[in-house]
């Protein structure tokens, strides 16, 4: 049963990201039919993230009180209803509301799904299981792009929205019929007589961790990555269409290429980080430095797009930028969570919330940049967006590598003393 649960949740995450990406892929017909400006499109793109962080925390909290199966079923139903609601979208206001409600409906899917998965899989298997589950997001956001674009061309964006809703409805029926009503209890929640009582962590200690340099500059790093990520979800399809002058289907294949090849780069970065950490047993060496250098390289590569309109370099540059910077999604939770292991879930919630705020702000900023230079100069607007995001990524990478010491000041001082002793000898 556990692998059936994983399979269904994987496809649910695929639909989750395909739902939020279909708007970007339908950017041309949507902007033309609804007469949207670039500034309005920036608001449409960012609106998904306005309430997403709140939903992630709220639904995650509710899932601890209610069966995750019921929460997931409710979310799948809400996705279907919202996608069928595409037929009543008539302008900027209704499209904006659609995106806001979709953000709320999809915000809690990951926490609820992980709670369900962890009930079926033991601790020793969860890293692999989580990786397989999250792969659904990459497939949904990028790998299915050609199929979504083909669907848009065949039936139009309104019918495409409804078909996406039909997929959610089918998955809902499978979920309700196949998955048992009673969810197994988490292993770590089972009471054992010989277990030591858990340490109570006061809120003051949690706030102290969040105010530390390590947490602050790690959060800034996630800001840099999600600026790039939101640009890719909201603006990349339009960039390919208007700047590189490729067709809609060619844009879909370009999106597919970026998604698949960046996975290889990101997995390579993760492997390097694991190997360095295994060798040094240092979060500073294995997580901070590797992640920081990846973000720095990503920022410089993304900024290079300012100097060319080549579709080949656009695909390669975006791929490298996304792949090199992707590591912060994992290491941010490792670094900040290590400061207070007893509150790992709470700290992870803060990371998710902060990251999605960054995505909303950057998506809007890009829209206003393009709008400010004029529709006829949209190419220059896109180029300025490269410089803005590149500068943010480079700056946060430098600050991150300069100020983040997860092991603390004491160990930092010990390392300095060891280096001095070694050099003097």
pLDDT tens digit sequence for 70-89 = 889 999 999 999 999 989 99
Kindly write down the DSSP assignment for every residue of 85-148, as one continuous string: GGGG--SHHHHHHHHHHHHHHHHTHHHHHHHHHHHHS-GGGHHHHHHHHHHHHHIIIIITHHHH
Radius of gyration of the chain (CA): 22
Q: Give the mean pLDDT of 108-132.
A: 69
Residue reference for tokens 């919202």: 82
Residues 223 and 168 in one domain: no
Report yes or no on 213 lying in a domain: yes
State the chain's mean pLDDT as an integer. 82
Residue 70 near residue 126, CB atoms below 8 Å: no
Point out the least confidently predicted range of 10-24, 79-93, 158-172, 287-301: 10-24
- Can you read off the two tokens belonging to residue 284? 């500073």
**Number of domains forming the structure of the chain:** 2
**Which of 164, 101, 120 lies closest to 9, judged by CA?**
120
The confidence band for 352, taking pLDDT boundaries of 50, 70 and 90, is: confident
Report yes or no on 188 lying in a domain: no
The domain of 167 spans 1-181
Read off the CATH number of the domain in which 37 is found: 1.20.1250.20
The pTM of the full predicted model, rounded to 2 decimals, is: 0.71
Report yes or no on 357 lying in a domain: yes
CA dist 356 and 360 (Å) reads 6
Residue 112 near residue 64, CB atoms below 8 Å: no
Burial of 211 (0-12, 13-18, 19+ CB in 10 A): exposed
Residues 160 and 212 in one domain: no
pLDDT of residue 341: 67
CA dist 51 and 56 (Å) reads 9
Residues 227 and 174 in one domain: no
Q: Give the mean pLDDT of 196-207.
A: 67
**Which of 325, 311, 347 lies closest to 392, judged by CA?**
325
The confidence band for 227, taking pLDDT boundaries of 50, 70 and 90, is: very high
Residues 89 and 35 in one domain: yes
Neighbours of 275 (CB within 10 A): 12
pLDDT tens digit sequence for 389-398 = 999 999 999 9
Residue reference for tokens 């994992």: 330
Residues 342 and 382 in one domain: yes
Which has the higher per-residue pLDDT, 291 or 354? 291
Q: Indicate the DSSP class of residue 188.
A: G
């Amino acid at each position: 049963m556990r692998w059936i649960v994983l399979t269904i949740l994987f496809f649910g995450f695929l639909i989750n990201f395909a739902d939020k990406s279909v708007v970007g892929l339908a950017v041309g017909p949507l902007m033309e039919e609804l007469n949207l400006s670039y500034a309005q499109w920036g608001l449409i793109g960012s609106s998904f993230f306005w309430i997403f962080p709140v939903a992630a925390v709220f639904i995650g909290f509710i899932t601890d009180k209610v069966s995750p199966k019921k929460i997931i079923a409710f979310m799948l139903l809400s996705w279907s209803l919202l996608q069928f609601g595409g037929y009543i979208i008539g302008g900027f206001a209704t499209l904006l509301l659609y995106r806001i409600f979709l953000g709320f409906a999809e915000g809690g899917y990951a926490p609820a799904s992980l709670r369900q998965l962890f009930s079926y899989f033991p601790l020793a298997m969860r890293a692999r299981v989580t990786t397989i589950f999250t792969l659904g997001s990459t497939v949904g956001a990028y790998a299915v792009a050609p199929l979504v674009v083909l669907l848009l061309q065949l039936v139009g964006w309104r019918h495409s929205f409804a078909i996406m809703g039909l997929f959610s409805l089918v998955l809902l029926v499978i979920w309700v019929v196949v998955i048992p009503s009673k969810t197994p209890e988490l292993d770590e929640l089972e009471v054992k007589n010989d277990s030591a009582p858990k340490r109570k962590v006061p809120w003051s200690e949690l706030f102290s961790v969040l105010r530390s340099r390590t947490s602050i500059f790690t959060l800034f790093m996630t800001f840099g990555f999600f600026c790039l990520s939101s640009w890719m979800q909201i603006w990349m399809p339009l960039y390919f269409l208007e700047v590189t002058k490729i067709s809609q289907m060619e844009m879909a294949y370009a999106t597919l290429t970026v998604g698949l090849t960046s996975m290889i780069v990101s997995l390579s970065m993760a492997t390097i980080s694991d190997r360095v950490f295994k060798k040094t047993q240092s979060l500073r060496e294995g997580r901070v430095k590797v992640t920081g250098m990846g973000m720095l390289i990503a920022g410089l590569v993304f900024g290079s797009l300012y100097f060319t309109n080549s579709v080949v370099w656009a695909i390669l540059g975006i791929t490298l930028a996304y792949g090199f910077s992707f590591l912060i999604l994992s290491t941010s939770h490792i670094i900040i969570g290590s400061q207070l292991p007893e509150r790992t879930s709470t700290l992870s919630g803060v990371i998710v919330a902060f990251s999605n705020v960054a995505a909303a702000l950057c998506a809007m900023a890009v829209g206003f940049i393009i709008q400010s230079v004029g529709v006829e100069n949209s190419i220059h607007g896109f180029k300025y967006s490269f410089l803005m995001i590149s500068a943010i990524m480079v700056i946060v990478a430098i600050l991150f590598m300069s100020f983040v010491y997860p092991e603390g000041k004491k160990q930092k001082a010990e390392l300095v003393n060891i280096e001095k002793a070694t050099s003097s000898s």
